[in-house]
Amino acid sequence: MIKVENLHKSFGETKVLKGINTSFEKGKTNLIIGQSGSGKTVFLKNLIGLFEPEQGNIFFEELQYGKLNNSERIELRKKMGMVFQGGALFDSMTVEENVMFPLKMFTKKTTTEMLHRVHEVLERVNLNEANHKYPAEISGGMQKRVSIARAIVNYPKFLFCDEPNSGLDPRTATVIDNLIQEITKENNITTVINTHDMNSVFEIGEKIVYLQDGLLAWEGTKEEIHHTNNKELSDFVYSSNLFRKVRQAYQKGL
């Protein structure tokens, strides 16, 4: 579980996060949604430690991030997996080497043991035909799957995904969504996904956090979104005809 208390972050005079309080539950897919410029990425970067919060606390289970020393932070980071928007795979390494990288860096496993685990996770993400290819030689969807494999290879407790569906066709996007949800359940990890893909919201959103102008404007489940009175959230979620019809159908009990 991740708990966030009164999180503030500014860049110069610009206040990006203005006091966010929320929590992300273990074993659930937690989604952060919001318009461009609402502070989603900055919020996620605070959670994964790429930005230092200006004020407020972040608790990873019982650990308060701000009170950890450098080596404790490194230990905590080893328990995190991150799927970046563009995959962030290392260009100079093959798929297999990319996935093996966290094991090489942080474990004392032999090469055989590492390869066994790598093949296990690549199989889990349905990708065992591209082991020796370089990232540039595989499709965007495959890169995302490799990125997920790399994020989970060292048994993380926390999984963060930054727009995992961006640039993917709808079918592949659904496959990736479902894969992330299944992995979350199988490993009982806390997953936080930053997205503005409404398909993801209705597909896998077990807890949804809506940010607006650096503030938490709404939080709840995907079912609760259909009944919300929050105008900005409704305008954001139901901006397309398709989703307005989904809402009407839901309200009619279809």
Tokens of 248: 């009407």
Size of the chain, expressed as the number of residues it contains = 254
113 sits near another protein (criterion: CB under 8 A) = no
Which of 2, 5, 31, 35 minimizes the C-alpha distance to 19?
5
- Please answer whether residues 38 and 212 qualify as being in contact, where contact means their C-beta atoms are separated by less than 8 angstroms: yes
Q: Please tell me whether residue 68 binds another protein under the rule CB under 8 A.
A: no
Indicate which single residue of 78, 119, 133, 185 sits in contact with another protein (rule: CB under 8 A). 78
Residues 157-216 interacting with another protein (rule: CB under 8 A): 160
CB of 104 to another protein, least distance (A): 6
Using CA atoms, how far apart are residues 208 and 205, in angstroms rounded to an integer?
6
**Which part of the chain contacts another protein (CB under 8 A), choosing from 102-110, 183-191, 226-234, 237-245?**
102-110
Q: How far is the CB of 76 from another protein (least distance, A)?
A: 8
For β-strands 2-11 and 63-64, DSSP reports them as: unpaired
HSE-CB at 131 with a 13 A cutoff on CA atoms is 12
Please give the distance of CA 114 from its chain centroid, rounded to a whole number.
25
Which of the residues 136 through 165 are near another protein (CB under 8 A)?
A: 160
* Least distance between another protein and beta carbon 173 (Å): 19
At residue 156, the 3 state secondary structure works out as coil
Which region, judged by CB under 8 A, interacts with another protein, from 2-10, 16-24, 79-87, 204-212? 79-87
Under the rule (CB under 8 A), what is the footprint of another protein?
48-50, 70, 73-78, 80, 82, 84-86, 88-91, 101-102, 104-106, 160
